[in-house]
A and B are shown apart, each in its own frame.
Chain A
């Protein structure tokens, strides 16, 4: 809700959006060019993403495997605790929770960190002409790399609970799922990063809303606990679709058709909004920083 209203608000500098009268370079073309250049400069954002992670764990003994270890500590203790609290069988609940937490960790960090993507890159943006989409790729890629560290915590689960979770051909569906998540990270990352740069309260709002979303989305609890009449609430939650997109292959299941339809809709709407906003405000971003 807050996002939509932010988009509709007439931004006061709207009148001074550059009227680049250059015959060939319309705003659409420049926005398209930025996205294209962002993709072609993959070497830069791969390096920056890799450096970000390297930097974070420099001088620590375990290095990036701290990511894995802290994730393991969180999910194993949560799985054990909530499994007992909810009186469910650990055999099914534990893998469900661990896979769900892995998915949630990726989605939530994408949302919160992408909101800061332009603010964090202010220094570079003001010194070098690089495509704006490059900074989005940098953050999105960084979080995917972190996901690959995190995903290791599922391995012991697959061994211990081999009766309820299996590695099978559905596990391979993780790859297209990650691709869909990545594409959406770029699309919504552009939207969030622009709003975040323009309105400095938004990153804070997003950080608290994502906490609420965690409890509203079936990560810790199974949607089957809801009465049948209320299940639509879960199905309408886009976060649920994305969590399920990753959780299902991780536990050896295929995501349902509903999940694919929901994510496709979210992607299509996002792409349209992102391009429209980016076309309109791309040239202003540097002035907002």
Chain B
């Protein structure tokens, strides 16, 4: 049974600009000590998430609502275990599948089929699982013979189709989705929506960030309003939107 437990989790990003990142600064700090050390030691720290308490269990389909920079993507990366909490603790049980970006593990010089194998392997599929699913994935993309062509000949919509189809072939306990829709024509969106519904039904916990309110209303039974890295509200979707829009 999948579960996610966050206890007063914070994430602080050190932001190094080109200078602060260099070895010279640290060397000078050592060599000069004292006063210079005081000034150069301060680099900008962004509190991307602060003091998040969250407990998600089987059956939770959660929508993340918030402005740009509110911490939606950071929270998803935290849940995907890409970022580790700088403070607090987090525990997650279950196989996690992040669909945070559709472009990772995509190689422009390789053909569609080669990319299915590459990305499938990265997402943890075995050779056998890929062989079993490759036809299904190929059908879902609807790209036909184009799959034997290198990706650099694809349009951006076609790349979205391909990577969505591969990611959707994973059956995770915890599914994390960042705003990945956008490109892709109406015909594909319809297919993708069907696939999403079956994917959501199979997953134990779903967390999605999306700017489209309709998608969240349709797919989620819970929503989290994030505001500058803090959880403003957790609860039913409608109330969450009311709070977000200040009604």
Residues of B within 8 A of A287 (CB): 13-14, 83
Interchain CB contact under 8 A, A44 and B110:
no
A55 proximity list for chain B (CB < 8 A)? 107, 109-110
- Taken together as a complex, chains A and B put the C-alpha atoms of A44 and B21 apart, in Å, by 31
Do A127 and B100 touch across chains, with their CB atoms under 8 A apart?
Answer: yes
Give the interface size class of chain A: 35 or more
A41's nearest neighbour on chain B, judged by CB, is: B124
CA A11 to CA B29, docked complex, whole Å: 11
Classify chain B: how many residues form its interface, as a range. Answer: 35 or more
Query: Contact string, A1-38, partner B, CB cutoff 8 A, digits 1/0?
Result: 00001100101110010111110000000000000000
Please tell me if A228 contacts chain B, counting CB pairs below 8 Å. no
Question: Given the complex, which residues of A lie within 8 Å of B109, measured CB to CB?
Answer: 55, 58-59
**A124 within 8 Å of B (CB atoms):** yes
Contact assessment for B14 and A123 in the assembled complex, using a CB-CB cutoff below 8 Å: no
Instruction: Give the shortest distance, in Å, between B163 (CB) and chain A (any CB).
Output: 11
CB distance B89 to A128 under 8 Å?
no
Question: Is the pair B22, A16 in contact by a Cβ cutoff of 8 Å?
Answer: no
Q: Within 8 Å CB of A286, what residues of B?
A: 82-84
Question: Across the interface, do A20 and B85 meet the contact criterion of CB distance under 8 Å?
Answer: yes
A266 sits at the interface (CB 8 A): no
Query: What is the CB-to-nearest-CB distance from A134 to chain B, in angstroms, rounded to a whole number?
Result: 10
Is the pair A124, B82 in contact by a Cβ cutoff of 8 Å? no
Q: Using CB atoms, name the residue of chain A closest to B24.
A: A201
Q: B43 contacts A12, CB within 8 Å? A: yes
Partner of A199, one of B13, B21, B83, B107: B21
- Contact: B104 with A127, CB < 8 Å? yes
Cβ–Cβ < 8 Å partners of B88 in chain A: 21
Determine if A128 and B121 form an interchain contact, defined as CB atoms under 8 angstroms apart. no
B159 / chain A contacts, CB cutoff of 8 Å: none
Determine the chain A residues whose CB is within 8 A of the CB of B14 once the complex forms.
12-13, 16, 287-288
How far, in Å, is B44 (CB) from chain A's closest CB? 11
The yes or no answer to A130 lying at the interface (CB within 8 A) is yes
Chain A nearest Cβ from B172, distance in angstroms: 12
Question: Is B101 among interface residues, defined by CB-CB distance under 8 A?
Answer: yes
Who on chain B is nearest to A134 by CB?
B122
* Cβ-defined partner of B122 (8 Å) among A13, A124, A126: A124
Contacts known (A16-B12, A19-B87, A22-B91); A126 close to B21, Cβ less than 8 A: no
**Are A124 and B104 in contact, with the CB atoms below 8 A?**
yes
Complex: A5 Cα to B12 Cα, angstroms: 26
User: Is there an interface contact between A16 and B118, defined as CB atoms closer than 8 Å?
Assistant: no
Report A-chain residues with C-beta under 8 Å of the C-beta of B127: 43
CB-CB under 8 A for A47 and B43, given A55-B110, A129-B96, A287-B13: no
Quick check: B23 and A22 within 8 Å, CB to CB? no
Which of A5, A16, A127 has a CB less than 8 Å from the CB of B98? A127
Mark A residues whose CB is within 8 Å of B. 5-6, 9, 11-13, 16, 18-22, 43-44, 47, 51, 55, 58-59, 123-130, 198-202, 205, 283, 286-288
List the 4 closest pairs (A to B, CB-CB), nearest first: A127-B104, A283-B84, A199-B23, A129-B81
19 pairs from A and B in contact (CB 8 Å cutoff): A6-B26, A9-B26, A12-B41, A12-B43, A18-B85, A18-B86, A20-B85, A22-B90, A51-B107, A51-B110, A59-B109, A127-B105, A128-B105, A129-B80, A202-B23, A205-B23, A283-B84, A286-B82, A286-B84
Given contacts A127-B82, A199-B22, A288-B16, 9 further A-B contacts (CB under 8 A): A20-B89, A47-B117, A126-B82, A127-B98, A128-B105, A128-B123, A129-B82, A205-B23, A287-B13
